[in-house]
Amino acid sequence: MIRVGIPRALLYYQYLPMWKTFFEELGAEVIVSPTTTQTILAAGSSRVVADTCLPAKIFMGHVLSLTDKCDFIFIPAIRSLKSKSYNCSKFLGLPDMTRAVIPESPTILDIDIDINKGKRRLYQAIYKLGRRFTWNPFKVKRAAMAAWQAHLSYRELMSSQGLTPPQAIEKITGTPATELKAHPDSTGPVQATIGLIGHAYLLYDEHINYQLAHRLQQASNKVLTPEMLGRQELEVAVTRTVGTAYWTYEEDVVGAGSHYLQNGADGVIGIMAFGCGPDSLMMDMIHRQANRLKTTPFMCLTLEEHTSEAGVTTRLEAFLDMIYRRKRRREEVCV
Ligand code: SF4
């Protein structure tokens, strides 16, 4: 059986169920790289120039961890998923960048996804990818339809049950959400509701964010993430804030940020990668909105290779303290 490797990084969190279904429907076995470790990060960092963003370094580390475990590695080049909105340049050149820095990588299965070129080009690209496994176009079409259905069910599962991508993936595929030791479940009443916004690969990679979501939950806070909102809610929030989205994943940052600043969160934490152009623009927009509204505190955490755990936890504790005090003051005023 052909083994297809999928790195547990970058767009893994958004699309694993879809990609897995597609390849399995075509008769392949899907191998996912392990959760991020310091060894994976160091290996990835050693292959790219220093100012490459942290998620891209981690991605390369995951590719390296798969090199002797599969026949192909799936690395799509996602340019655009919506008319006139564009992805960060790292995603556009990801297959070529990987070939250049990891020449020993198994053959890379790439697919160029650019909705601006029309649906016909997209279907042709899917058939081209499927031809690696079968010459039967109907089989490829069936696999693509099953994959799309799996994606819709995945999104629905997260928004209807309030699950994070790792939790939903665990539910669907049985792949454990994390190999890190989970913090004990909190039993007390909810202290505050915190909206976490940012790209999925920063919110759910627990190695690079020092288990931020777990820490919040352990301190009896309820955590809300972008995937817990429906596509429509996110799009409405983006339109209200910036009009038309320019970046492909703007909903996860600007949409979720704007929504949680105005609905249901006591505080919002944005997570971005150091040196990330799109994020610096989007987080700034949310920062300005928070300053303008003055209703919900906002904090932005910037992650990079040398971010220390102590730095993250200190800022987190200070932010939470401020939120708890604010809540207590409000409750006293209401009494
Ligand atoms: S959007 Fe930012 S963090 Fe994500 S790959 Fe591009 S530069 Fe890196």
| Distance of alpha carbon 32 from alpha carbon 15, whole angstroms | 12
pLDDT band at 180 (very low <50, low <70, confident <90, very high): very low
Tens digits of residue pLDDT in 206-236: 999 999 999 999 999 999 999 999 888 999 9
Ligand 1 centroid–CA 308 distance in Å is: 20
Residue nearest to atom 1 of ligand 1 (CA): 88
pLDDT band at 204 (very low <50, low <70, confident <90, very high): very high
pLDDT at position 247: 86
Q: Which of 311-316's residues contact partners 24+ apart within 8 Å by CB, and which partners?
A: 312/209, 312/210, 312/212, 313/210, 313/215, 316/212, 316/215, 316/216, 316/269
Pocket of ligand 1 (CB under 6 A): 53, 55-56, 88, 90, 199, 273, 276, 278-279
pLDDT band at 242 (very low <50, low <70, confident <90, very high): confident
Test site for ligand 1: of 90, 201, 282, most ligand atoms within 8 A of the Cβ: 90
Residue nearest to atom 2 of ligand 1 (CA): 276
Average pLDDT over residues 246-262: 91
pLDDT band at 83 (very low <50, low <70, confident <90, very high): confident
pLDDT at position 177: 58
**Which residue in the block uniquely carries the two structure tokens 């696999």?**
143
- In the chain, the amino acid numbered 329 is R
Average pLDDT over residues 195-208: 94
**Which residue in the block uniquely carries the two structure tokens 């150091």?**
274
pLDDT at position 175: 66
pLDDT at position 176: 65
111 φ/ψ sector (left φ>0, alpha ψ -120 to 50, else beta): beta
Ligand 1 centroid–CA 149 distance in Å is: 28
Average pLDDT over residues 261-272: 94
pLDDT band at 181 (very low <50, low <70, confident <90, very high): very low
pLDDT at position 107: 96
